[in-house]
Amino acid sequence: MLWWTLRQLRSASPATRRQAASRLGIAGNTAAVAPLAWALKDPDNSVRLAALEGLGRIGDPTAAEAILAAARDSETGRGSEDAAALRAAAASALAALGPGVAGVLVEAARDRNPRAREVAVSAIAGLGGLEAEQVLLSALRDDRSNVRQAAALGLPQAAALRAVEPLAAVLTHKDAQTRRSAVQALGMIAGDEAAAALAPATRDKDQSVREAAIEALGRVGSRRAVESLLALYCGSDRDTRQLAAAALKPMAWTPADERERAVHAILHGDHEAAAREGRAAIEPLVTALADKDPGVRRAAAAALGQIGGAGAAAPLVGALADHEEAVRRAALQSLRRLGPVAFTVVVDALESKAAAVRGAAKDVLVAIPQAPGVVSSLLQSCAGRLRGQSGQVEVLISGADASGRARLAVETLGRILEHAVDRIPEPELRAVAELADLELLDDPDNPAGAERVSSEPLRERARQELERRGTCAG
């Protein structure tokens, strides 16, 4: 009963008015155009939205002017979210009216009211054709951001591949929201051309644009897009790597070489398969060591130990400072597994600013101290200017950094001598037996603050081992 529905459209209840507007919106029910146009002025936004949807379903081109009027008035007494929802519904309703409103939309795209221009530009994209394309290209230069954004997002619909070049040009616009919309639009276009246009946007000064560009590359899905995402995945910024990983994971792509196979395996949680790719997997696994998920970091540390080689040692030393014990333990086990090849890197780690790294490095050295040069490297940290007379020689080490290294070296030498003295090569053991006492001066301008460190316990332990081996210490 039409009269009853029309009466409900004037009810005091917004829910009743909304239901009435929905019932009136039946395809071909042109008699409802006028009452629904009246409902577009309803104080309740849900009623206005229902009226717009109904007018779109009816499909009568005569409703276009009323819809545009609602768009012009969309912000009067309403919040920004309600206003935006109203304009989006108005654009959908206008597009549903079909080609018969094309002329109205072309004219409205030049309307003095920016809200009307925005809605008209959004609606005309769905109609397609050369005329719509020209309107959208012109709207890319509009002085209002919302209109430019609507034009950018509509171009892929209207112009397909022809949209890439104008959208790429928009990526240099000073307005970040405009650039982001162009990025999102490029993500709707398949192919390497769109991917190539998106690549620079991953370095945009605005974070939201960068993030949108990475997501858009994932939607493009071409080979060029994969290559760009792989480069970002192996980059230095952790947040960017996480976004690149999230974009790559659901994509259907075939790895082109060992490195890409390693990345593919890591993204799908198979770190052992990545390790089987050998040295090509080191860089991707190092990237995984910085993942936010401690389980991923732990698996990456374990996989690096399976690969072996000096290239895997340095990143594992860094992982010794991870805040998760399971990751630190995996890194330590992998360094022990690498054996002597890791020692140069581990010795360097004794100078790390991170206390956790220095402590773990000492544990590695104690575990496999037979590597040539380990003790010699520690002794080099105890080198300085000789002072004193025969029988009372001391080595002066000046400067906070040098003094700190010397203290750490003495401590580490003590642990090696305590736990694995029998595995130290004889020439290095002799050098320890002749090690002078140290005078450590953190502040060269304050000689009174010097600290004397006796090397006698180290010398004595070295001599005892030399005697045990049947070799004289002097």
Q: For residue 436, what is the DSSP state?
A: P
CA distance 155 to 139: 10
Q: Which CATH number fits domain 254-368: 3.30.70.360, 1.20.140.10, 1.25.10.10, 3.40.50.720?
A: 1.25.10.10
pLDDT tens for each residue of the chain, 474 residues long: 566 777 787 888 989 989 988 888 887 788 888 989 898 898 888 989 999 999 999 999 999 999 999 888 877 766 778 888 989 999 999 999 999 999 999 999 999 999 999 999 999 988 878 888 899 999 999 999 999 999 999 999 887 768 899 999 999 999 999 999 999 999 999 889 999 999 999 999 999 999 999 999 999 989 999 999 999 988 878 889 889 999 999 998 899 999 999 999 999 999 999 999 998 999 899 888 888 899 999 999 999 989 877 778 888 888 888 889 899 889 888 888 887 667 666 766 766 777 777 777 777 766 654 555 678 878 888 887 766 544 455 778 888 888 888 888 888 888 778 767 877 888 888 999 988 888 888 888 887 778 888 889 999 999 999 998 886 555
Tokens, residue 401:
């950094």
The topology (CATH level 3) of 190-253 is: Leucine-rich Repeat Variant (1.25.10)
Q: Residue 302 contacts by C-beta under 8 Å, 6 or more apart in sequence?
A: 271, 330, 333, 334
pLDDT value, residue 3:
67
pLDDT value, residue 68:
92
φ/ψ of residue 406, rounded to 5 = -65, -45
Residue 207 contacts residue 240 (beta carbons within 8 Å): no
pLDDT value, residue 444:
81
pTM of the model: 0.71
Q: Which of 296, 300, 253 is nearest to 272 (CA)?
A: 300
Report the sign of the C-alpha dihedral through residues 14, 16, 22, 28, in that order. negative
Q: Which of 195, 207, 206 is nearest to 231 (CA)?
A: 195
Domains 190-253 and 254-368 equal at CATH topology level: yes
pLDDT value, residue 63:
92
Residue 419 contacts residue 465 (beta carbons within 8 Å): no
pLDDT value, residue 445:
80
Q: Residue 54 contacts by C-beta under 8 Å, 6 or more apart in sequence?
A: 21, 22, 24, 25, 26, 32, 36
Task: Please name the residue that has the structure tokens 């009027």.
Answer: 69
Instruction: Determine the 3-state secondary structure of 306 from DSSP.
Output: helix
Calculate helix-pair angle for 258-267, 223-233, nearest 10 degrees. Answer: 80
Report the sign of the C-alpha dihedral through residues 56, 61, 63, 68, in that order. positive
* Domain residue spans of the chain: 190-253, 254-368, 375-474
